Amino acid sequence: MTNLDTLHQQLNRAYGSNFVAYQRAHIAHINIRGRSFYQDHKLLQKIYEYLQANTDVLGEKIQACGLGAIPESIADTLNHSDVVDASVAGTAEDLLHTVWEDLNTMIEVYHGLGEAARMANYPDVDNMAADHIGVLATFAWKIEATLEIPGRHHERTGY
């Protein structure tokens, strides 16, 4: 497999994972209930809108790099996803935790994309991946603060 093949594979992985993460965040947004409804609802809206816009960005990046087509069916898209297509249900805390897990999966996916982009000498894709990691990490941190759970930064900082 060439470096370009790996880059295409990683872009499709990001596309599929983002597609599933978007749908799951949107479901959580619609189903959220509880005393913190308004704040949780607005946070989840920001997350799903970001992921929804990203689906287009990733699809166009695949095309712009001349690497071939995006997955051509929902089943094919799901096959490329690291985010599991599972039920999104439960309490407000459960829903936020589900989205938090998906965001952390997406961060790992973008790390893989950035590495593939560096190997294939595509700095624009590497920069795009780094930008997405920053935004996703901020969303993850907001959920961590809401749920009072230690985040990715906890081991380094102690809080």
Domain count, the chain: 1
Report the alpha-carbon distance of residue 99 to residue 112 in Å, rounded.
Answer: 20
- Specify the pLDDT at position 18: 98
**In this predicted model, what pLDDT tens digit does every residue of 89-115 receive, in sequence order?**
999 999 999 999 999 999 999 999 999
Q: The domain containing residue 125 runs over which residues?
A: 3-157
Within 10 angstroms of residue 136's Cβ, the number of other Cβ atoms is 24
- Average pLDDT, whole number, for the chain? 93
Q: Residue 157: is its pLDDT beyond 90?
A: no
Do 114 and 11 touch, CB atoms closer than 8 A?
Answer: no
**In this predicted model, what pLDDT tens digit does every residue of 27-44 receive, in sequence order?**
999 999 998 999 999 999
43, with CB counted inside 10 A (0-12, 13-18, 19+), is buried
Output the domain CATH number for residue 69. Answer: 1.20.1260.10
Query: Which residues contact residue 69 at a Cβ distance below 8 angstroms, ignoring those fewer than 6 apart?
Result: 62, 63
- Specify the pLDDT at position 1: 81
Q: What is the pTM of this model?
A: 0.92
Report the alpha-carbon distance of residue 72 to residue 86 in Å, rounded.
Answer: 21
